[in-house]
């Protein structure tokens, strides 16, 4: 599943948090979500979140 919800700097924003919150509200025990790429040159789509060395992890913490 590709959410295509990257905010500025290819970081997750409030839209990602709301989506994950709606998944969590479904009552499942474990949720593994996301389409987080490991670099901006290997994107699956234009709105993909990218995590690379040196990225501030604060936006990834919900």
Say which residues have a Cβ less than 8 Å from residue 14's Cβ, sequence separation at least 6.
7
DSSP string computed for 27-60: T-S------EESSTTS-SSTT-EE--TT--SGGG
Number of independent structural domains in the chain = 1
Whole-angstrom distance, CA of residue 50 vs CA of residue 7: 10
Q: How many residues are listed for the chain in this entry?
A: 62
According to DSSP, the residues that pair with 50 across neighbouring strands are 37
Q: What is the pTM of this model?
A: 0.56
Residue 31 in any domain: the answer is: yes
Give the model confidence (pLDDT) of 1-59 as tens digits: 567 788 888 888 888 888 878 877 877 666 666 677 777 887 888 888 888 888 888 88
Host domain of residue 41 = 8-53
Residue 58 in any domain: the answer is: no
């Amino acid at each position: 599943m590709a959410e295509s919800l990257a905010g500025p700097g290819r970081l997750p924003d409030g839209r990602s948090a709301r989506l994950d919150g709606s998944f969590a509200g479904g009552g499942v025990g474990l949720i593994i979500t996301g389409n987080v790429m490991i670099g901006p040159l290997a994107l699956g789509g234009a709105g993909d979140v990218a995590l690379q060395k040196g990225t501030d992890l604060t936006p990834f913490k919900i």
